[in-house]
Amino acid sequence: MTSTKKLKQATRADVARMAGVSESTVSYALTGVRPISEETRERIESAMNALGYVPNAMAQALASKKSGLLALLFPVGERGFGETDFEYVEAATAAAAEDGYQLLLWPNAVEDTASLQKIVAQGLVEGVLLMEVRSQDPRVKVLQESGTPFCLIGRTDNSENLTYVDADFSQWGPMAINHLVDLGHTNIGVISMRGELVEAGYGPVIRTEAPLIELAQRMGVTVTIKHPKATIRAGRLAFEELLEEQPGITAIIGFNEPAFIGALEVAGARGMKIPEDLSVLSFGLSEEAATMTVPAQTTINVDGPELGRMAVQYLIARLNGDKKSVLQKLTQPQFFDRGSTGPAPQFSG
């Protein structure tokens, strides 16, 4: 048998009876909200142990209007930077557990606001975490109107008054440029995300590219950006174009995983050695992926676990009644030097 009969759990009434006190006294002994004599407390505790008493979560939730549950809303079919996603989830779950909360997974299409509305109206969860936030995210309004506390992992365009955590993409470009310029590179290519995302105003691309371009200009560095589709093939073409337009390129930055693989294939096919002939650096590439290439890739990444953790903490702060403080955080990028960048090659011709 997979499961034996479900044995009946002891209730507070049982404990009260056995300890010879009232039910409420048992409650207060548990919460410590009011003083209990040492002797009573002991009687209650031994009764609880004897009965193997564990408070019923649902009754507690119903009576107190606190379920101890947080929802993690993750859109189905929309993946951010690959597999890093699970890191967020793991870290968020752990952070929640630390404060006595549990995480509920809610897969949901971004547009499906009807379900969202229903789901929060059920009163099951106390607060909501939003992943894969769009610059115009319809879910935000629904949550605001329902009065459910929430925290974004990411940002909308208009997020001044929202609670959120996000990667500070504005630092990624400058970090990369500085690193490469320090190595002597002055002509850099970028295999960025597909054009539609840029046109759609997708936050991460926009916030990354602008400061990158700006710093490059200030430093007198040539930067050429391509926006191929997210396929290996498109990446190959993009890099070939890049080399055509800028034969002097000595470094490339990738922000589009499949396309960047294509670019690296072309580099390999042309006999360009990494990092001797070409320095290579990826944005937002998971450790697993970064170590699969030969050589492994130097990356600039979002700190997923930190993001997940902070989001939960902010949300819980709101639940605890913090209505006033501005709870917004941009996390520092992580730089992993795995040796795929090196000094700019000297030109022989």
Shortest distance, CB of residue 62 to DNA, whole angstroms?
Answer: 4
Shortest distance, CB of residue 312 to a second copy, whole angstroms?
Answer: 12
Query: Is residue 35 part of the contact set for DNA (CB under 7 A)?
Result: yes
Candidate ranges 57-65, 238-246, 300-308, 340-348; the one touching a second copy (CB under 8 A): 57-65
Contact pick of 2, 4, 31, 346 for DNA (by CB under 7 A): 31
Query: Is residue 24 part of the contact set for DNA (CB under 7 A)?
Result: yes
Shortest distance, CB of residue 344 to a second copy, whole angstroms?
Answer: 24
Shortest distance, CB of residue 293 to a second copy, whole angstroms?
Answer: 5
**Which residue stretches of the chain are H helix?**
12-19, 23-31, 38-51, 57-64, 85-98, 113-121, 138-146, 172-182, 195-199, 203-218, 232-245, 257-269, 287-292, 304-319
Query: Is residue 121 part of the contact set for DNA (CB under 7 A)?
Result: no
The pattern of x and - marking residues 1 through 30 that bind a second copy according to CB under 8 A reads xxxxxxx-x---------------------
Q: Which residues pair with 301 in a beta bridge?
A: 334
Given a contact cutoff of 8 angstroms between Cβ atoms, the answer to whether 261 and 232 are in contact is yes
Shortest distance, CB of residue 76 to a second copy, whole angstroms?
Answer: 7
CB within 8 Å of 24: residues ≥ 6 apart: none
Burial pattern 46-59, b for ≥16 Cβ within 10 A else e, equals ebbeebebeeeeee
Decide whether 61 or 296 has the Cβ nearer to DNA.
61
Residue 30's binding partner out of DNA, a second copy, none, with CB under 5 to 8 Å set by partner kind: DNA
Q: Write the Ramachandran bin of 66: left for phi over 0, alpha for psi from -120 to 50, otherwise beta.
A: beta
CB within 8 Å of 240: residues ≥ 6 apart: 266
The pattern of x and - marking residues 200 through 229 that bind a second copy according to CB under 8 A reads ------------------------------
Query: Is residue 266 part of the contact set for a second copy (CB under 8 A)?
Result: no
Cα separation, 337 vs 294, in Å, equals 14
Question: Tokens 């450790």, residue?
Answer: 287
What is the SS3 assignment for 198?
helix
Cα separation, 172 vs 83, in Å, equals 19
Residue 345's binding partner out of a second copy, DNA, none, with CB under 5 to 8 Å set by partner kind: none
Residue 37's binding partner out of DNA, a second copy, none, with CB under 5 to 8 Å set by partner kind: DNA
Decide whether 12 or 155 has the Cβ nearer to DNA.
12
CB within 8 Å of 289: residues ≥ 6 apart: 82, 83, 257
Name the residues that contact DNA, by CB under 7 A. Answer: 8-9, 11-13, 20-25, 27-28, 30-31, 33-37, 39-41, 55-56, 59-60, 62-64
